[in-house]
Amino acid sequence: MPELPEVQTIVDDLNRKIIGRKITAVWFDWPKTIKNPKPKVFEKEIKGLEVKKIKRAGKNILIYLSHGYLLLVHQKMTGHLLVGKWRTQKISKFKYEIISLEKGLLREKVNGYIHLIFYFDNGRQMALSDLRKFAKVLLGDKEKIENLPELKKLGPDALDKKLFFEKFENIIGRVSGKIKQALMNQEIISGIGNIYSDEALFLAKIHPFKPANKLTKKETKNLYLAMRRVLKRALKLRGTSISDFRDASGRAGTYNKVRLVYRKEGEPCPRCQTLIKRVKMAGRSAHFCPYCQKL
């Protein structure tokens, strides 16, 4: 799932590519992606609106439009927004073939998962590619969208300048659950998922199952610093592309090349050479070094 560095990479790309563009039409072949309003109404309402600015809230992309509208995109498991030019061609009653009209990075593989396209007044488009089809899109009044529980309930952003150590310590110290789960819980701290929780806990030498409120002050400090360091590094490397993440031009991020433990089970720990372990945790996996990260 795209996490803070991946979502921020897309947001930065979109801010460079689509500000000031007017949406002239929408195409989709998977209406379930559009959660609000009804797809037909969505199509009508968004037509003619201009892109004003793009922001990130946790893992959500907020596209502010003219006339007080706000478009929320949550990429969920496999979604990612691309800017380019495509042609949609109906090949059977429910099936379309999506052909990229721009050469280069927007590869055929990605095109096959495009289910939603926004057309702009300069002839270019923004497409949502989504292999698993869990991504969601909502359009509405700025105030209405901003007040949705999923945005209202977000905890402080993991890279927020105002998230000082004292505040982080205070938040984490009140959680009795496992530290990895606390880090991934968007209502506690927002922006972190499976990849960067594994990486930060490894750097801080903390076992993923350790109860959050049992961390020592030193461990909490190490974790705070590790979290910021890992996220900033990943942001610089434009995210992790182990599975299908691409930036808005279709390019892969490169944090996966320098990652420490995430999806590295059976490989030697970069610090002590003990083999990295993977354990199940509430339907997800935690990767860690059993020697460096003792419970």
Active site residues: 2-3, 59, 284
Residue from 30, 134, 209, 291 binding Zn ion (CB under 5 A): 291
Instruction: Work out how close the CB of 245 gets to Zn ion at its nearest, in angstroms, rounded to a whole number.
Output: 27
Q: Least Å distance between CB 265 and Zn ion?
A: 13
- Using only the alpha carbons of the chain, give its radius of gyration: 20
Nearer to Zn ion, 45 or 265 (CB): 265
**Within 13 A of 211's CA, how many CA atoms are on the CB side?**
7
Q: Do residues 253 and 239 lie in contact, with contact meaning Cβ atoms separated by under 8 Å?
A: yes
Q: By rule CB under 5 A, what string of x and - marks binding of each residue 192-221 to Zn ion?
A: ------------------------------
Q: Count Cβ atoms below 10 Å from residue 183 Cβ, excluding itself.
A: 26
Among 1, 204, 227, 289, binds Zn ion (CB under 5 A): 289
Q: Compare residues 137 and 289 and give the one whose CB is closer to Zn ion.
A: 289
**Cα separation, 214 vs 220, whole angstroms:** 10
- In the bound state with Zn ion, the residue whose beta carbon lies nearer, of 194 and 293, is 293
Could you tell me the smallest distance in angstroms from the CB atom of residue 211 to Zn ion?
A: 22
Binding region for Zn ion (CB under 5 A) out of 40-48, 106-114, 128-136, 286-294 = 286-294
Torsion angle in degrees (nearest 10) through CA of 103, 104, 110, 111: 0
Tell me how many residues contact Zn ion (CB under 5 A): 7
Q: How far from the centroid of its chain's Cα atoms is residue 9's Cα? A: 9
CA distances from 127 to 122, 249, 274 (A): 15, 11, 43
| 86 to 105: interface string for Zn ion, x by CB under 5 A | --------------------
Provide the residue type at 43 as one letter.
E
Q: Which is nearer to Zn ion, 41 or 272 (CB)?
A: 272
Asked whether position 106 contacts Zn ion by CB under 5 A, the answer is: no
Q: How far is the CB of 195 from Zn ion (least distance, A)?
A: 18
- In the complex, minimum distance from the CB of residue 274 to Zn ion, in angstroms, rounded to a whole number: 5
Query: Residue 81 or residue 289: which is nearer to Zn ion going by CB?
Result: 289
d(CA 112, CA 69): 30
Which of residues 207 and 238 has its CB atom nearest to Zn ion in the complex?
207
Helix (H, G, I), strand (E, B) or coil at 268: strand
Maximum distance among all Cα pairs of the chain, rounded to whole angstroms: 61
Query: Which residue type is seen at 183?
Result: L
**Smallest distance, Zn ion to C-beta of residue 42, A:** 50
How far lies 259's CA from each of 192, 255, 289, in Å? 15, 6, 13
x/- map, 239-278, Zn ion, by CB under 5 A: ------------------------------x-xx-x----
65 forms beta bridges with 51
Distance CA 270, CA 224 (A): 21
Binding site for Zn ion (CB under 5 A): 269, 271-272, 274, 289, 291-292
